[in-house]
Structures are given as C-alpha cells and as structure tokens.
Amino acid sequence: MERIAVFVGLDYHQSAVQVCVMDRSGQVLTNRSCANDWRAMEAVVGRGGQKVRAAMESCAGAADLAEELMAGAGWEVALAHPGYVRRMKQNPDKTDFTDARMLADLVRVGYLPRVWLAPKEVRELRRLVRYRQQLVGERRNAKLRVGALLREHRLRKALARPFSRAWLRWLEQAALSEQSRWIVQRHLARLLALGEEIRLVERRLTALTEDDPVVGKLLRLPGVGPVTAWTMRAEVGQFDRFRFGKELSRFCGLSPRNAQSGARQADAGLIEAANPQLRATLIEAAHRLIRYEQRWRELAFRLRQAGKPGSLIAAAVANRWMRWLHHHMQPERWAA
C-alpha cells in the first residue's frame, strides 16, 4: 500500500528554518519555525509512515541540509531556484511563513523550479575553484590600482610588458612621490603573496582532480587547460544531466536571449541567468580554439566574412563547442 504523501516547504536560515507541511488537498497541517537541524524538522513533520516530499530554495548551506534530510530522515528533497520562486510568488510582501507555504504548494502541484543538487565532492571542488577565482580577482585589482597611481603621476607606460621583470626595473626608476612609492611597494608585495597563494591552490586542485575521469577527459581536448577543466567540472558537474547540448550551452550563458513581441524580433545579446565566471572561461577557451583548431577557425572566418564583431564570434564558437562537448562527454563515448 502506498504511503500517504505530505509536502514540506523549508524556508532556510542559518539559525532556524520555517517548516510548512501540506497535504494532498493543499490544506496546511502546520507552519512553524524550528531549529536548523534535520532532527528538529523531522519532529515537526512527524513520522507516522508518511512519504515526505520537501523543497527549499538553493542558498548557502541548503545542499548540506538537503543531504542530511535525505540520509537521516529518508525524505525526498529538492532545491528550488530562488529567482524563479520569487517571480512565481507575485507578491510584494515577504515573510518566512508565506515563503515556506509557497514552496510546499509548488512541490504539491509539481511546479517547483528545480536546481541540480551537486554531489559533495563537486561542491568541495567548486569551493576551491571559486577561492582561486577570488584570489585572481584580487590580483587583477591590485594591478589596476598600480596602473591608476602611474596615471595620476602622468607616467608613460614602459615598452616592456606590465609587471614583467623589465617593467619592474623601469618602475624602480619612475618619478613617483614618496607616498605613492610606498603604496606601490605595498601593492607589489601583495601581488607576490597572491601569486604564491594561487600556486598553492592550483597544486591542491591538481591533487584533488588527479583521478577525476571527467577532468582527465577534458584535459585531453585541444584548447582545454587545467583552469578550464577545473571550472567546467566544478560548475557543470555532470554533462549527462542535460538532455541536449542546447540546454548545456544555455546553462553556461552562451545562448542568445530572445526578445520577441508580435512581429518585432530583437537581438538581446546573451542570456543573463548564468555563472559569469564560467561563461568568461568558456569564451577564453573559444579564442584558443579559433587559433589552434581548424574546424573552429573556419567557423570564425565565416562569421567574420558575414560582418559579425569579434565578441559575437567568440561567443558563437563557445556556444557550438559546448553543444559538441555535450555529445562528446557522454559516458557511453568515454571509451572512444
């Protein structure tokens, strides 16, 4: 005999969670706050042989709680896209009470906008990859601040590549004020420390993904280096979770965004709902593919002949490449 199902919406917070329990008919059985602990939530819902289908918005800490509820309480737990849930609510007011009820109702009627629950090892890799991205961003900002100081002193750029040894020797002789010289030295010291920290993270990433079959196959592809492979593995996770290459490309933010109304059709650029670092990494990979791969170089040439700008060409190559990669990375083709 099939167990009676109840539907649970969880409005997650660091200190507490609002739990709304709803039956098949949509009647709210309970809606109250409890401690942020899976045992406390199980106590609110009750045991009684019920089949529990729960949902919470995807946020920091939600994935770990979802795994605890599935392993400890035996619930079916799904993560919801917070942006879609907010738009579906269509209410200017926001309370934990109504948010939990909304999630429970979406699970009940089958309209929950689901987000992929990445395995723990992928989430750990994602933390490392994003930490490296933060360090690279800090290094870029430090270099920009040095350049801003040089512009303030109206110093012309040296012929050498910025931050190369020859450029640093030129900087030592540059006419800077006393305080600006001290600030530049602090920035340069910070750059050295950041460079060492980035190398440390990269060594850890190399060790972590040494036996990862997905990363190994990505690294064997032309134009794919360690950073590209790490980023795709961390953010995409499993390529076979997408049904078609078009879905994967759209997830990566490489598909054109539709802006159609009646007979009017406008070019609205790339879709915005995507990880910007993943998209930037893939477009950088597209530039390398255009330089080194005949197939993609020919595609770029045809688009250039049609008058398309370079930014659009790189995005188009990345879009086509990800669609091809979806097919190439399917498990049944790994022996090829």
Which residue's entry shows tokens 């750990």?
124
Query: What's this model's pTM, rounded to 2 decimal places?
Result: 0.85
User: Which whole number is the average pLDDT over 297-318?
Assistant: 91
Strands (E), 23-128: 28-35, 51-57, 76-80, 114-115
Given pLDDT bands bounded at 50, 70 and 90, which one contains residue 1? Answer: very low
10, 109: one domain: yes
22, 68: one domain: yes
Q: Which domain holds residue 301?
A: 215-333
User: Which whole number is the average pLDDT over 212-226?
Assistant: 92
Q: Which of 13, 92, 122, 5 is nearest to 54 (CA)?
A: 5
Chosen domain end from 208, 240, 267: 208
10, 28: one domain: yes
198, 252: one domain: no
pLDDT per residue as tens digits for the range 106-132: 999 888 888 888 899 999 999 999 999
The pLDDT value recorded for residue 334 is 54
179, 229: one domain: no
Helix (H) or strand (E) run with residue 207 in it: helix 178-208
pLDDT per residue as tens digits for the range 181-209: 999 999 999 999 999 999 999 999 999 99
- List, edge to edge, every strand of the sheet that includes 114-115: 28-35, 16-22, 5-12, 51-57, 76-80, 114-115
Residue 195, helix vs strand vs coil: helix
224, 326: one domain: yes
Residue 336 has pLDDT above 60, yes or no: no
204, 223: one domain: no
Chosen domain end from 59, 84, 115: 115
Q: How far apart (Å, rounded) are the C-alpha atoms in residues 264 and 266?
A: 7
250, 204: one domain: no
Q: How far apart (Å, rounded) are the C-alpha atoms in residues 221 and 196?
A: 28
In this structure, are residues 286 and 228 in contact, taking their beta carbons and an 8 Å threshold? Answer: no
147, 193: one domain: yes
Residue 23 has pLDDT above 50, yes or no: yes
Chosen domain end from 208, 234, 258: 208
pLDDT per residue as tens digits for the range 220-249: 998 899 999 999 999 999 998 999 989 999
In this structure, are residues 43 and 30 in contact, taking their beta carbons and an 8 Å threshold? Answer: no
* CATH code assigned at 95: 3.30.420.140
92, 11: one domain: yes
Contacts for 163 with CB less than 8 Å, ≥ 6 apart: 143, 191
The amino acid at residue 319 is N
Q: Which of 12, 6, 5 is nearest to 85 (CA)?
A: 12
67, 166: one domain: no
The pLDDT value recorded for residue 125 is 95
The total number of structural domains in the chain stands at 3
